[in-house]
Amino acid sequence: MRTQVGIVGSGPAGLLLSQLLHRKGIETVVLEQRSRDYVLGRIRAGVIEQGAVRLFDEAGVGARMHREGLIHDGIEIVFAGRRHRIDFKSLAGGSVMVYGQTEITRDMMEARAAMGGTVRYEADVVAVEGFDGANPRLRYRHQGTEHTLDCDFVAGCDGFHGICRQSVPPGAIKTYERVYPFGWLGLLTHTRPAADELIYAAHPDGFALASMRSRTISRSYVQVGVDDKAENWSDQRFWDEFKRRIGEEAAASLETGPAVEKSIAFARSFVAAPLRFGRLFLAGDAAHIVPPTGAKGLNLAASDVRYLSRALIEYYEAKSEAGLDAYSDACLARIWKAERFSWWMTNLLHRFPENGAFGAQMQLAELDYLVRSQAAMTALAENYIGLPY
């Protein structure tokens, strides 16, 4: 089998790239190791920057998002018993969309099927070859048989543990990493959200976040240790701890309920550089990971795809490699800014026991400065709604 662009991974990055290229007449094949149901079962964040919203519209997959998504013009931050609102509209002239990543993935799956796009599930890529020359190929196993996909380019959208980055010679790539000493224990519940907007809470016992998927589905989080396990937490224990951390006002009106899903996501900052190796390009979690605090994971994947799709379209339409040559540097400039913001918010809001009493006071001073400074709040708002591409 042959195609123009072979895409490894059918998460939002891979499907969005396939959709954008297909609409420009560029052939793609998406290979996904897992089943379709497994991909749709993954629980991920759903805070979408303005630029990503426009990109989903460009790909023709934004209609349901606009009908069902929630526009948020700000967030709230709770610390020292006080609740403060950061108004994105007045500070930075923008907003974000709250719409679950599972729903984004579903919309793109349906769009690919409607346009006759080829997405092969349970196709395990076992080798990424020839990307240092003119004829890359992907060898994969599907239904017990090995196949080969020849292509002009390979897009590695296969996540942090995927084969694409692992196929790069070690001397050709440099990685940067920070592993944080905690995780987020999250509960998904069919309950009314604690507030109309997200609430970020900095508490002496650890961070908490009141988030949502819709007006009837809540996602609630508390900071836990790296050795903790979800099964150690009954629903009642979780809600008792969440109420203590989220602040009295939110706790007083909180609607609790049984967990539909309960899991721990551990926090990590990671960047690989460069993102181009001949005719292999890394995008999304294959290239970078951010802690969830700043809601940048999905949005960074979208910005990577924006740069890569335009570069490939330029190559096929104008026979120019300028965009391909610039891809890695353009992505990394935006990636490092998002990494900085996520790192800053993580340090601002979480408990770091190793920092001691002095570090705790520095956090309080930083939070107090933030909510009293127009400039500081504007910087947060600009980064949260998304820096320009």
Catalytic residue among 200, 221, 307, 315: 200
Contact at 8 Å (CB) between 243 and 316? no
The CA-CA-CA angle for residues 66, 70, 76, to 5°, reads 150
Task: Respond yes or no: is residue 140 known to be catalytic.
Answer: no
pTM of the model: 0.95
- Give me the sheet containing 153-156, strands edge to edge: 118-120, 28-31, 5-8, 153-156, 280-282, 276-277
Predicted confidence at residue 41, as pLDDT, reads 84
Predicted confidence at residue 42, as pLDDT, reads 78
Task: Respond yes or no: is residue 200 known to be catalytic.
Answer: yes
Catalytic residue among 22, 203, 296, 350: 296
Residue partners of 310: CB distance under 8 A and separation at least 6:
323
Task: Respond yes or no: is residue 307 known to be catalytic.
Answer: no
How far apart are alpha carbons 286 and 88 in whole angstroms?
30
Catalytic residue among 292, 307, 315, 327: 292
Task: Respond yes or no: is residue 319 known to be catalytic.
Answer: no
Domains identified in the chain and CATH numbers:
5-70+97-176+268-345 (3.50.50.60), 180-266+353-385 (3.30.9.10)
How far apart are alpha carbons 147 and 298 in whole angstroms?
30
To the nearest 10 degrees (0 to 180), the angle between helices 322-349 and 374-385 is: 130
Task: Respond yes or no: is residue 292 known to be catalytic.
Answer: yes
Catalytic residue among 12, 22, 72, 288: 72
Predicted confidence at residue 91, as pLDDT, reads 98
Least Cα distance to 195 among 244, 247, 238, 235 occurs for 247
How would you write the pLDDT of the chain (389 residues) with one tens digit per residue? Answer: 999 999 999 999 999 999 999 999 999 999 999 999 999 887 776 899 999 999 999 999 999 999 999 999 999 999 999 999 999 999 999 999 999 999 999 999 999 999 999 999 999 999 999 999 999 999 999 999 999 999 999 999 999 999 999 999 999 999 999 999 999 999 999 999 999 999 999 999 999 999 999 999 999 999 999 999 999 999 999 999 999 999 999 999 999 999 999 999 999 999 999 999 999 999 999 999 999 998 999 999 999 999 999 999 999 999 999 999 999 999 999 999 999 999 999 999 999 989 999 999 999 999 999 999 999 999 999 999 999 98
Sign of the dihedral through C-alpha 347, 349, 352, 358: positive
Least Cα distance to 61 among 103, 25, 11, 27 occurs for 103
- Give CA 23 to chain center in angstroms: 24
Predicted confidence at residue 68, as pLDDT, reads 96
- Give me the phi and psi of 150, to 5 degrees please: -90, 145
